[in-house]
Amino acid sequence: MTKDTILTGIRCNDEPTLGNYIGAMRPMVQMQQQFAGQYNINMFIPDLHSFTTPINHDELFANVIKGVSYFVAAGISIEQPDTHLYRQSYISAHSELTWILDCFAYFGEISRMTQFKEKSGDNQSSVSVGLFNYPVLMAADILLYGAKWVPVGDDQTQHLEIARDLALRVNHKFAAVYPEGVFIVPEEAKKQQAFIKRDSGGRIRSLVDPLKKMSKSIKDPRGTILLNDAPADAAKKIMGATTDSVGAVNYDWERQPGITNLLEILAQITERPISDVREEWTGRERYGDLKKAVADAVEQFLTNFQAAYHSVDATMLVKKLETDEAAMREVANATLLKVQRAVGLRER
């Protein structure tokens, strides 16, 4: 793999929301369009990560295929030869490298991970070891493919730094065996952000409580639009969205979060600059007109998106997964063998 590698994960746990489309799917499509041909783009499905927290295991396999289909419907091209689409669990090197890296990771540094603290709460004695160990598996996901570029959100920055620390630690310890380094070290968070140029917009919030993000996980059916909602039902949710008593439309997350959320949805769904949408609506007094415009846009979007989803060829999608998994298995196994030789498990 002579080109630099960009690696990103496609989460396939829950039914995706409009917020997932705007905040994760569309940026991934844009990234593929921007970097296709210049980089290897690894888009992997972290199915091993899926059950670090409770899920329905009976649905996991089917949800993976369905989840990838949503990304294809959003615009991910499975015909782009430098885009590699694969399931994490189909490449055993992920699991084996995780154990080796576990033995070079420190309990103290892993226990300081913010996400572990947030998800485990005050009851750490009964959470799974998998949740605790999540950052080491993520490091293996990255290091197996020599990925320099890993576009992650702010909540994953600590995990990226752990991957860097582990790579540097192993490289230093076995420098006599591999002077060039066992691993390619991913770039630090600041360089990642500059490279990907992530937009600060696209943060969609609950229609009922605009102080919270739009999420299926917080049991907010009236405030959350799922990508499989009937378009007319989604429009009704928009019409019932929480606003305020100010009496004029303004883009102001502090004073008018509900109105601002509607403006953001309208801009994102119609793919217009938020500055244009603000200019069009700021100062208007009829909130119902804004709701109607957003409801119509969302209804049309879901109609088109669902048509694209139902047209995805599942047979071709599975063929793409299996072909790329075979190719990525070779890359991952070559890295794993290098690590095995470094640590003494294989003859040097």
What whole-number distance in Å separates Cα of residue 95 and Cα of residue 100? 9
- CA dist 292 → 26, 136, 231, 236, 299 (Å): 24, 47, 13, 10, 10
What whole-number distance in Å separates Cα of residue 259 and Cα of residue 244? 8
49 CB-contact burial (10 Å; exposed 0-12 / middle 13-18 / buried 19+): buried
- Catalytic one among 66, 119, 292, 338? 119
- CA dist 51 → 24, 93, 95 (Å): 20, 18, 14
Residue 3 is among the residues annotated as catalytic for this protein: no
- Catalytic one among 213, 237, 291, 320? 213
Number of Cβ within a 10 Å radius of residue 21: 25
- Strand segments (E) across the chain: 5-9, 40-45, 83-87, 147-149
Token pair of 22, please? Answer: 């705007």
Residue 213 is among the residues annotated as catalytic for this protein: yes
Token pair of 106, please? Answer: 């420190």
Please calculate the CA angle 259-264-270 and round it to the nearest 5 degrees: 125
Residue 191 is among the residues annotated as catalytic for this protein: no
What whole-number distance in Å separates Cα of residue 216 and Cα of residue 193? 28
- Do 166 and 323 touch, CB atoms closer than 8 A? no
- Do 17 and 225 touch, CB atoms closer than 8 A? yes
Buried b (16+ CB within 10 A) or exposed e, 144-175: bbbbbbbbbeeebbbbbbbbbbbbeebbeebe
Which residues carry out catalysis?
119, 213, 216
